[in-house]
Structure 1
Amino acid sequence: MLKEMLQILMERDGMSRADALQLLREVQAAVYEAFETGEDPEEIFTDMTGLEPDYLLALIV
Protein backbone atom coordinates (compact mmCIF):
# COMPACT_ATOMS: atom_id res chain seq x y z
CA MET A 1 0.00 0.00 0.00
CA LEU A 2 3.01 2.29 0.49
CA LYS A 3 3.72 2.03 -3.22
CA GLU A 4 0.12 3.02 -3.92
CA MET A 5 0.43 6.08 -1.66
CA LEU A 6 3.59 7.14 -3.46
CA GLN A 7 1.87 6.76 -6.81
CA ILE A 8 -1.11 8.83 -5.71
CA LEU A 9 1.06 11.64 -4.35
CA MET A 10 3.19 11.68 -7.48
CA GLU A 11 0.24 11.69 -9.88
CA ARG A 12 -2.20 13.84 -7.93
CA ASP A 13 0.26 16.41 -6.61
CA GLY A 14 2.90 16.26 -9.33
CA MET A 15 5.58 15.29 -6.81
CA SER A 16 8.79 13.56 -7.68
CA ARG A 17 9.33 10.15 -6.10
CA ALA A 18 11.95 11.65 -3.77
CA ASP A 19 9.56 14.41 -2.66
CA ALA A 20 6.73 11.95 -2.08
CA LEU A 21 9.03 9.71 -0.01
CA GLN A 22 10.20 12.71 2.02
CA LEU A 23 6.60 13.73 2.69
CA LEU A 24 5.71 10.23 3.84
CA ARG A 25 8.71 10.19 6.18
CA GLU A 26 7.58 13.51 7.66
CA VAL A 27 4.02 12.26 7.99
CA GLN A 28 5.21 9.07 9.66
CA ALA A 29 7.19 11.07 12.23
CA ALA A 30 4.20 13.35 12.88
CA VAL A 31 1.88 10.37 13.29
CA TYR A 32 4.20 8.68 15.79
CA GLU A 33 4.44 11.96 17.68
CA ALA A 34 0.64 12.17 17.71
CA PHE A 35 0.46 8.74 19.33
CA GLU A 36 2.83 9.92 22.05
CA THR A 37 1.06 13.23 22.71
CA GLY A 38 -2.50 11.93 22.53
CA GLU A 39 -3.41 13.78 19.34
CA ASP A 40 -5.49 12.15 16.60
CA PRO A 41 -3.06 10.41 14.21
CA GLU A 42 -5.76 9.98 11.55
CA GLU A 43 -6.40 13.72 11.46
CA ILE A 44 -2.69 14.48 11.19
CA PHE A 45 -2.31 11.92 8.41
CA THR A 46 -5.23 13.21 6.35
CA ASP A 47 -4.26 16.86 6.88
CA MET A 48 -0.71 16.26 5.68
CA THR A 49 -1.42 13.90 2.79
CA GLY A 50 -5.01 14.46 1.73
CA LEU A 51 -5.39 10.67 1.67
CA GLU A 52 -8.07 8.58 3.33
CA PRO A 53 -7.21 7.28 6.82
CA ASP A 54 -7.36 3.73 5.40
CA TYR A 55 -3.78 4.27 4.22
CA LEU A 56 -2.55 5.13 7.71
CA LEU A 57 -1.97 1.53 8.74
CA ALA A 58 0.44 0.98 5.86
CA LEU A 59 2.50 3.92 7.05
CA ILE A 60 2.87 2.79 10.65
CA VAL A 61 3.49 -0.92 10.10
Structure 2
Amino acid sequence: MLSALIRMDDKMRRLENLVQGSKAKVEESIEDTLLDQIGYGILALVELRKQKEGLNG
Protein backbone atom coordinates (compact mmCIF):
# COMPACT_ATOMS: atom_id res chain seq x y z
CA MET A 1 0.00 0.00 0.00
CA LEU A 2 2.80 2.39 0.89
CA SER A 3 4.52 1.92 -2.46
CA ALA A 4 1.26 2.73 -4.30
CA LEU A 5 0.89 5.92 -2.25
CA ILE A 6 4.47 6.93 -3.02
CA ARG A 7 3.95 6.37 -6.74
CA MET A 8 0.64 8.27 -6.66
CA ASP A 9 2.42 11.18 -4.97
CA ASP A 10 5.13 11.12 -7.65
CA LYS A 11 2.45 11.21 -10.35
CA MET A 12 0.61 14.04 -8.62
CA ARG A 13 3.78 16.12 -8.53
CA ARG A 14 4.39 15.36 -12.20
CA LEU A 15 0.81 16.35 -13.01
CA GLU A 16 1.21 19.65 -11.17
CA ASN A 17 4.36 20.40 -13.18
CA LEU A 18 2.74 19.46 -16.48
CA VAL A 19 -0.34 21.59 -15.78
CA GLN A 20 1.91 24.54 -14.91
CA GLY A 21 3.64 24.12 -18.26
CA SER A 22 6.95 22.81 -16.96
CA LYS A 23 8.81 20.55 -19.36
CA ALA A 24 8.63 16.95 -18.21
CA LYS A 25 11.88 15.10 -17.53
CA VAL A 26 10.35 12.14 -19.33
CA GLU A 27 8.03 12.09 -22.31
CA GLU A 28 4.69 11.81 -20.57
CA SER A 29 1.49 13.69 -21.27
CA ILE A 30 -1.11 14.88 -18.80
CA GLU A 31 -3.37 12.10 -20.08
CA ASP A 32 -0.66 9.47 -19.47
CA THR A 33 -0.14 10.78 -15.96
CA LEU A 34 -3.87 10.68 -15.16
CA LEU A 35 -4.15 7.13 -16.48
CA ASP A 36 -1.21 6.11 -14.30
CA GLN A 37 -2.92 7.70 -11.29
CA ILE A 38 -6.03 5.64 -12.01
CA GLY A 39 -3.95 2.47 -12.30
CA TYR A 40 -2.13 3.05 -9.02
CA GLY A 41 -5.46 3.83 -7.35
CA ILE A 42 -6.90 0.53 -8.54
CA LEU A 43 -3.83 -1.37 -7.34
CA ALA A 44 -4.10 0.31 -3.94
CA LEU A 45 -7.80 -0.59 -3.75
CA VAL A 46 -7.05 -4.23 -4.59
CA GLU A 47 -4.38 -4.31 -1.87
CA LEU A 48 -6.74 -2.72 0.65
CA ARG A 49 -9.42 -5.33 -0.11
CA LYS A 50 -6.87 -8.14 0.25
CA GLN A 51 -5.86 -6.78 3.63
CA LYS A 52 -9.49 -6.57 4.75
CA GLU A 53 -10.18 -10.13 3.60
CA GLY A 54 -7.12 -11.31 5.49
CA LEU A 55 -8.36 -9.66 8.65
CA ASN A 56 -11.92 -10.88 8.20
CA GLY A 57 -11.20 -14.31 6.78
Bigger-Rg structure (1/2): 2
> Shorter-chain TM-score: what band?
0.3 to 0.5
The alignment's TM-score, normalised by the length of structure 1, stands at 0.45
The alignment's TM-score, normalised by the length of structure 2, stands at 0.47
Choose between structure 1 and 2 for higher RCO, CA contacts under 8 A separated by at least 6 residues. Answer: 2
